[in-house]
Amino acid sequence: MTRYFVAATILTVWSTAAFAADAVFDVRDFGAKANGSTLCTAAIQKATDACAAAGGGTVVLAGGKFLSGTIYLRSHVTLRIEAGATLLGSTNIAHYPHNIPAIRSYTDSYVKQSLIAGENLENIGITGRGVIDGQGSHFKMVSRARPYENRPYLIRLVNCRDVLVEGVRLQKSAMWMQHYLGCERLTMRGVRVWNFGNANNDGLDLDGCRDCTVSQCVFESDDDGITLKSTFERPCDSITISDCVARSHCNAIKMGTESNGGFKNITIANCVVTSPSHTNVTYGRSRGMGGISLELVDGGTLERVAISNISIHGVNVPLFLRLGDRGRPFKEDMEPLPVGSFKNVVINNIVATGVGKTGCSITGLTGAFIENVSLNNLVFEFEGGGTRELAGKQVAELPKNYPESSMFGDLPAYGFYCRHVKGLRFSNIRLRTAAADLRHAMAFDDVENLAVDGLDSSFWPGGAAMLGLAQVRDALIRGCQPRAKEGVFLKLAGDKSQNIALVANDLSGIAKTADIAPDVPKNALVTQRSSKP
């Protein structure tokens, strides 16, 4: 006879879910064996279904290792993995049936299988202090033509509402660790992710989700760490990520690559970003490829994004912002998507040390500008080593290329290279290089309505001008105090350059204020009298 009990006291009231009942169902009472070798899929599913039929409650795994294939969650049910217990994913792909959700998404071509699955559910949870282990290294790619097949996710929830994921350790998925597609009101806190051993080992993918919070989590992954995607028409909207640690061989915190619906109303705060240690690299680099990457290349709109209080160490590129035109549709019968809209982004209080040589970039496209980006209180220390020749590099546009911080190679500036941007603000920026670097500190190409206020940057003997401007309109540069006895503060080029104002700068410590190319219109540069001519 199946037995269950009703908890006498509710110790915690979940802010995201009001469960219908508090009955507890132990999977061992349904025939599950905690020996790590007996397949327990049917027993765990029976316990889950009985819990749902009773009006909801908690299904408990305790006291050992439970081997299982796909488990289907039910509404009003929490799956709790107790401390000392492990839900162990089967290594037999036949134990993972295909599941294609009603929502049509580009991820349908990725993966159709998962250890924990659910669709159109409400008031569900995955909690506890135990472990969910996908044993992902046992799964191999079918072929290069079908790289994603037969490698299940650990968790995939589709179109679910009021979801709580708390406390558990998630490890060794065969693919992405967890994919939440079109979900609403998801709360994730105190989760530990360790995802190495196979390709595409993302830590977290929120895809077209709304009203979600992620906090107090640690993500360690070979592929991207904390990832927002939009693989169908819904944007990721109203997402808060805070107080997390992200360690990735690829991009630690990322929006993209897929962006069909876009990203709106996103805040990311109080996080630590580093590269992983003591792990092998499948994708990316031992030194993580990127710290924070905002990528909009498949249509959609990216707007109202605020990022603050981030500590970054030991990645190649701390910041990468890209508007591209790959235009990949999310359905086979769709036309390529038009260029999206990327605007209204504020990035504050970022400290990045031990970062690579490439440089940061903010790049739109000809006729498709990134708009209204403000960066304040940045302290970046780069590896250095760039040559004077790199300062004159012509950077390819590459509108259709996969977006990655390494896509342009080493940039003309060791700090920031910005192209096709309107409304760009830098305030209180400190840039340093560990080794000599003869590139610009910042370079701007086809930028309109630019402000640089309080730049403090390294300047090496024989280097290019501190600032490189080409085809820049309506720029205000102030509050700078360069120190280079043989250096040049600014290089200006381009027949469309106009209204460049140097105001309230102390240029007494530099040899020359500006090098102006012959094609620059007369009076394009205006220097305040108190600045050195």
* Residue 104: predicted pLDDT: 75
220, 180: one domain: no
As a whole-number percent, the residues of the chain with pLDDT over 90 amount to 85
175, 275: one domain: no
* Residue 16: predicted pLDDT: 36
Summarize pLDDT for 86-144 with one digit per residue, the tens. 999 999 999 999 988 878 787 777 788 999 999 999 999 999 999 999 999 999 887 77
Q: Which token pair is 420? A: 């096709």
Q: What angle do CA 384, 385, 387 make, to 5 degrees?
A: 125
Which residues, 6 or more positions from 373, have their beta carbon under 8 angstroms from its beta carbon? 321, 343, 345, 346, 347, 362, 421, 423, 424, 425
* Residue 2: predicted pLDDT: 43
Lowest-confidence region among 19-33, 111-125, 464-478: 19-33
Please indicate, yes or no, whether the overall pTM of this predicted structure exceeds 0.85. yes
236, 186: one domain: no
- φ, ψ of residue 482 in degrees (nearest 5): -70, 150
Residue 191 belongs to a domain with what CATH number? Answer: 2.160.20.10
Summarize pLDDT for 289-338 with one digit per residue, the tens. 999 999 999 999 999 999 999 999 999 999 999 999 999 888 878 888 89
Which residues, 6 or more positions from 12, have their beta carbon under 8 angstroms from its beta carbon? none
Start-to-end C-alpha separation, the chain: 92
147, 225: one domain: no
Average of pLDDT values for 162-168? 98
- φ, ψ of residue 47 in degrees (nearest 5): -65, -40
With respect to residue 286, please indicate whether it lies within any of the assigned structural domains.
yes
Q: How far is CA 412 from CA 88, 215, 488, in A?
A: 49, 37, 16
Check if the beta carbon of residue 328 is closer than 8 Å to that of residue 355. Answer: no
Interatomic CA distance for residues 197 and 173, integer angstroms: 8
Interatomic CA distance for residues 402 and 215, integer angstroms: 29
294, 400: one domain: yes
Query: What range does the domain containing 187 cover?
Result: 1-201
Using DSSP, state whether 233 is helix, strand or coil.
Answer: coil
Summarize pLDDT for 399-435 with one digit per residue, the tens. 999 999 999 999 999 999 999 999 999 999 999 999 9
With respect to residue 390, please indicate whether it lies within any of the assigned structural domains.
yes
* Residue 486: predicted pLDDT: 85
Summarize pLDDT for 361-396 with one digit per residue, the tens. 999 999 999 999 999 999 999 999 999 999 999 999
Tell me, rounded to whole angstroms, the distance of Cα 199 from its chain centroid. 17
> Phi/psi zone of residue 54: left (φ > 0), alpha (ψ -120 to 50 degrees), beta?
alpha
With respect to residue 482, please indicate whether it lies within any of the assigned structural domains.
no
Q: What angle do CA 407, 413, 416 make, to 5 degrees?
A: 75
DSSP, res 400: T
Residue at a domain's end among 167, 201, 235 = 201
Q: Which token pair is 366? A: 């000809």
Counted domains in the chain: 2
Residue at a domain's end among 201, 229, 253 = 201
